[in-house]
């Protein structure tokens, strides 16, 4: 498996993304499958954040925002994407708010019971 990083400017970039999308489509992975989203201050200052995944999440991101992917590295057991930081909303958006269990006054409040 070729492990070099392929940048957006590389002629093989689109072909590689399509191959990865197909390979991981519908794949839940084994018991150690994971998805890691990382955004260090250094990376964000340089204009990107990183997504590593060894399951269908990689395929979903490629389908959803292929134009935001700056580079790809295929490790065989997983894939790392460098993604334009403009595609990042913020990590707090990955959490769901369970509105059925809370009244409007309780939503967003931190209480002693939570901490």
Query: DSSP letters along the chain, please?
Result: ---S-EETTSTTHHHHHHHHHHHHTT----TT--EEEE--HHHHHHTEEEEEESSHHHHHHHHH-GGGEEEEEE-SS-EEEEEEGGG---GGGGSPP-TTSS-TTTTT---TTT-
Q: State pLDDT tens for residues 57-70.
A: 999 999 999 999 99
Give the pLDDT of residue 113: 55
Q: State pLDDT tens for residues 10-61.
A: 999 999 999 999 999 988 877 788 989 999 999 999 999 999 999 999 999 9
């Amino acid at each position: 498996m070729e492990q070099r990083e392929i940048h957006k400017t590389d002629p093989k970039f689109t072909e590689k993304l399509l191959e990865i999308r197909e390979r991981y489509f519908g794949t839940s992975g084994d018991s150690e499958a994971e998805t890691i989203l990382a955004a260090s201050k250094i990376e964000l200052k340089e204009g990107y954040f990183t997504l590593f995944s060894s399951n269908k999440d990689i395929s979903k991101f490629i389908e959803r925002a292929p134009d935001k992917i700056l580079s790809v590295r295929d490790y065989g057991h997983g894939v790392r994407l460098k993604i334009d930081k403009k595609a990042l909303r913020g990590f707090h958006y990955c959490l769901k708010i369970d509105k059925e269990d809370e009244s409007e006054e309780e939503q967003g409040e931190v209480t002693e019971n939570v901490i």
